[in-house]
Structures are given as structure tokens and as C-alpha cells.
Structure 1
Amino acid sequence: MDDVLTDKSENINYLTENEHNGPLLDGESELSFELRQPFHMKEYHWHQQIEVNVLYKGTLEYSFNNASVCIEGGQLALFWAVTPHRVNKTSEDAVMGIINIPLNVFLSWPLPQEFVQQVMNGGVISTHNTGIISHAENHRWMASYHENHEIRNHIVQEEVFLMLRRLCSYDYQVEMFSFLRDITLRHANDTGYKNVQLMLDYIANNHNKDIKVEDIAAYVRLHPKYAMSLFKNMLSVSIKQYLIIMRINHAKVLLSNTRNPIKNIATNSGFRYPSSFFAAFKNHTGITPQEFREQSQQFSMHGV
């Protein structure tokens, strides 16, 4: 079989830390907003954005890979929309705000490590919307984005980020779902999608170690080239990009919560060289690790 790791002597280095000449993730940098009555969906769908649904009134039932999640008026649900999902049932009086956050924007924000990992590993976050976002605020964001004013759009992005920080300060529930797309949904190779989930699990547990794409592929007994293709086709993110993102998020926690020297944080986050850590961090977040540390300290002092 061409997907089995057959040639162990092949010395391939697909994860070169010096390859950081541009953003880690391509894609749209714009958020999108809707405010409407939800509707029943006959078919599952999926996309790459982080989806935030705020149900202001009524009831709604989702299906995630044939498992149900119900929310009521006053609740919020957030998930990475690569998980196949659809609205299964909704009441006639339901009103919902929808915010789609580009993956590269979501992963550039200094959110708590645990929260980010829960979302990136298939978690559906739900909580009562107690002061997190109002109907009026949702409407204002949507109206502002339709104006296409660069400065105001940037302010809205910052406000959405602060909304998520506020969400993280409350108690919330997490239900974990598999990214696997059911074979009946897409006639896909079911074993292939299970292997992607195994790769995600391996990266979650080992991203702060000196692992390479070959190690990840070997864990699921796949040839590295096949593993990379499978992962990218499923998640629209390469293994290298995803691994570096997880390492940077790990570093963000250490930068925010410790006074450890930055060069030690680089090593403890899985980067072999401090220089490659600095380059990756700056390209991904737009600021240096020291600037991030100073900003996170300001957030801690002033709160949200």
C-alpha cells in the first residue's frame, strides 16, 4: 500500500525551522457577521473558520457527525467548523448571531492555551451569554463591517478578540467531537480520517518536543508525503503549519504566566533554535515575543 511507511531509510526533513518567510497560514483575514433566524439544514457542511453562534432567542439543535448539541436562548456556541455540522432543529422564534473568524486570525490572538487546544481538537464550547456579547453589539459589528472602513474594521477585530477573552473568563462547557467526516457524507477513506485524528492527538501531546513530520507520520505508519497530503486535504492546514502554531500557542502561555528567559521558552516550546522561534513568532503574531509578554502583562493588570 502506498500509504504505509515503507522506506525507513529515507532521510526527509519536511520541517525546516528556517522556512518562515511569510505568514504561517494563508486565507482571508476578514471576519464575517450574520444576524438572522437559523434554518434547518438537510446536509452537513464544513469550512475552515472558527464559528461563533449566539442564540438570542428560541432553541436550536446542532448535529456534529450525527451527535446532537442543543442550545437555548441566551447561550453561545463556538467550534472549529472543519467538523461536519448542520442545524438539525430550530424553533420558529429563534434569532441567532453568527461570527465566522478566519483561522489565521483566531490563532494569532493571545487566548488561553487550554481554550485554543480544546477548539483545535474538536471541542464545541458552549456557555450562557452573560454579558459576553449583546444583540446590539452583534448588530453594530455587522453594520460596521459592511461599511468596509479599514480602521473601524480593525477595531471590530479587537472587540471580537476581547469578547473571546471575556468568554474564557467564565465557566464554559466543552463537548469533544471528531473531525472525521462520516463515510456516508463524503465517501471518503474512513481509515484516512482516523489517521488525521491520530496525528492531531500526537501533535497535541508532543508539540513541545523536538518532533518532525517523519515522527508524526511514523506514529500512524504512513509515508511522510502521504501523511502531509492527507492532513492538508482534511484540515486545509499543513502539518508543519499546525505544529508550529501549537508551539507558538505553548510559548504564549509561558510568556504570559512565567518570567522564564525567552530563549528557554523557545526550547521548552519545541523550537530547536531561538532564532527560528523569534522568526516564526513574529511572522505569525506580527509582534516579537517580548512585545507579546508586555502586552499580556498589561491585559492582566487592567483586566477585560
Structure 2
Amino acid sequence: MSVRLHCDVAEFGTAGARVRPVIRKSMHRHNEIELNFLESGKFDLLFGNARYTLTEGRLYVFWAAIPHKIVHLRQSSTFYWLTVPFKHFLSWHLPGRLIESLLSGKFVSDLSLGMPRRDSVQFATWMHDIRSRSKSRHEAMLLEVEARMIRLAGRLSQNSYAADADDGEGPPSPAILKAHQMARYICRHYVGPLSSNDVAEHIGLHPNYAMSLFKNVYGISIGGFVTRYRVVQAQKMLVMTNMKIEEIIGACGFKSTSQFYAAFKAHALQTPHQFRKRY
């Protein structure tokens, strides 16, 4: 069932805390990668329009640009949250599969045995690092988070997956899988002309049904997701290359300069020139 998303936009940067979950009235989003580790308890998170149950001792990672909020507390819980600025995520040497999984909107969970105790200690250390004013501690923390993400990527094929939108246990539902297939197709074909009909045809669905399914899962239209992903790729090129902005426009699939600048300002909340100068 589709719900209307009322969404607050925020910017966290490198931040984190150990907290008790609180039910929010409004969805919120921010352009960082977010890590959640549940120290104890269980609660439900709405991610896009899909509902996930987060359980004790597990690490969850997701792209927080997709609207999300805590909607139900199943048990008394304590969890850590940590946000990583997009510029750091884009500069890390992560396997392509993990990057694509996150940027295609998957809600990734690590189910590996033996990691909860290590993660608990690690997150506690990272919280101290964040509160410190030491540049070296911040840099060390980011290196350790990168290493944890690499370990997560190594387990992605067997012990990690996009958590089930019904109860957080077992493989994803067929509807979620179809939505992820569409998102992956977008991630791989964003440079050329790409319509909602093209995406629907790729997975054999009627366009109207495909658009409804996609929005129900991600809380954003197919066209909106295409634009957002193109902006993400532009951000990556601005940070990691010396390409001229005129070259980036075409390399990211935008049809015109005006379309690019409008989309970038809407999603990044600043111009491409400001973004490059800042990062």
C-alpha cells in the first residue's frame, strides 16, 4: 500500500550517537551513508515505503537519501547510528557490488556470526572518536569504517542481503526484488536515454504497475530515482576527477545544462561549483 511521504531534509556530515529509538512523525532524508547497529532490542523502520524489522546484534547499512523513519518499537532497544559523508563513501575503495547495492536503494544487513561483539566495541570507540576534537582520531575512524564496509562487501553474497520488508528475516519478497532489479537497471544504464517504460520493459512488467511498485518500495518515482542517481554520479566526478562541468553533464546522462543545474541544486542543495569547492 502506498503512503504519502512528508519528508524533512537534513545534513549530518560525520556524526553518530548511542540512543534509544524514538518514533518519528515525519520521514527524513540526508545524503550520507548510514550505519545502524542494534545493541539490544528490536524495532521497525520505514525505508521508502517498505517496512523493515531491525534486530539485536546486527549491522544495517543504507543510503539515507531515501526517506526513512522509525515507526514501531517491538522491544526496549538501544542502537548506534553513524553517518558517513558521501564524499568519503565515494572515495573509498569498495567493491562495485556493495556500492551498487547501496545506491540502488537496498537495505543491507550483515548476518555474519561472530561480528556483533566486535561491532559493539567498534561502534563505542567510534562514538568517542566523533566526540573528540582530534583530526587523527577522526581519520582513523573513517579508515576503520571503510575496513568494516569492505568486510561487509566480502560477505554480501552469502551472509548479507537486503532485509525483508515484512519481518526482517529471510530473503527479500518478490516485490522488493522486482524493485531492486529496476534500480540496478537504472544504475547500469543511467548515461543514455532512460524512461520509465524502458525500465518496466526490462523486467517484463506493465509500465503503470512497475511505476507503482517502485514508488511503493522506495518512496520515489522511477524518473525521480534516475535523476537522483545521475546527480550522485556527478558528485562523484566532481570529487574524484578534474573533468569540466560541461563534460560531466553529458557523462551523467543529462540532456541540457539547465536540467543538470536544476537537478543538482535540488538534490545537493548547492551548485556544482560550490560542491566541488567545498569537497
The two structures have a TM-score, normalised by structure 1, of: 0.55
Deviation at 1:77, TM superposition (A): 1.3
2:141 aligned with 1:156, yes or no? yes
2:37 aligned with 1:42, yes or no? no
User: Partner of 1:169 in structure 2?
Assistant: 154
Deviation at 1:137, TM superposition (A): 2.0
Deviation digits for residues 106-161 of structure 1 (CA, Å, limit 9, x no counterpart): 11110101111221222221122531642222112111321211222221111111
Larger radius of gyration: 1
Assess if the C-alpha contact under 8 Å between 1:193 and 1:234 holds in 2: no
Alignment length, in residue pairs? 202
Q: Which runs of 5+ in 1 are unaligned?
A: 1-26, 204-210, 243-283, 285-304
Assess if the C-alpha contact under 8 Å between 1:58 and 1:72 holds in 2: yes
Deviation at 1:63, TM superposition (A): 0.9
Letter in 2 for 1:110: H
* Candidates 213, 217, 237, aligned match of 2:249: 213
**Percent identical:** 19
Provide the rounded CA distance (Å) in 2 between the counterparts of 1:48 and 1:238: 15
Q: Secondary structure at the match of 2:28?
A: coil
Letter in 1 for 2:54: I
Assess if the C-alpha contact under 8 Å between 1:33 and 1:98 holds in 2: yes
Provide the rounded CA distance (Å) in 2 between the counterparts of 1:169 and 1:66: 28
2:106 aligned with 1:110, yes or no? no
User: Partner of 2:190 in structure 1?
Assistant: none
Deviation digits for residues 234-283 of structure 1 (CA, Å, limit 9, x no counterpart): 2558789x9xxxxxxxxxxxxxxxxxxxxxxxxxxxxxxxxxxxxxxxxx
Q: Which runs of 5+ in 2 are unaligned?
A: 1-10, 163-175, 184-210, 235-246
Provide the rounded CA distance (Å) in 1 between the counterparts of 2:151 and 2:270: 28
Moved more, 128-137 or 113-122: 128-137
Provide the rounded CA distance (Å) in 2 between the counterparts of 1:202 and 1:104: 11
* Candidates 25, 43, 66, aligned match of 1:60: 43
2:217 aligned with 1:234, yes or no? no
The two structures have a TM-score, normalised by structure 2, of: 0.60
* Candidates 193, 213, 237, aligned match of 2:224: 193
Higher relative contact order (CA 8 A, sep 6+): 1
Provide the rounded CA distance (Å) in 2 between the counterparts of 1:198 and 1:102: 16
Instruction: Note the aligned Cα RMSD (angstroms).
Output: 4.0
CA shift in 2, pair 1:143/1:200, >3 Å? closer
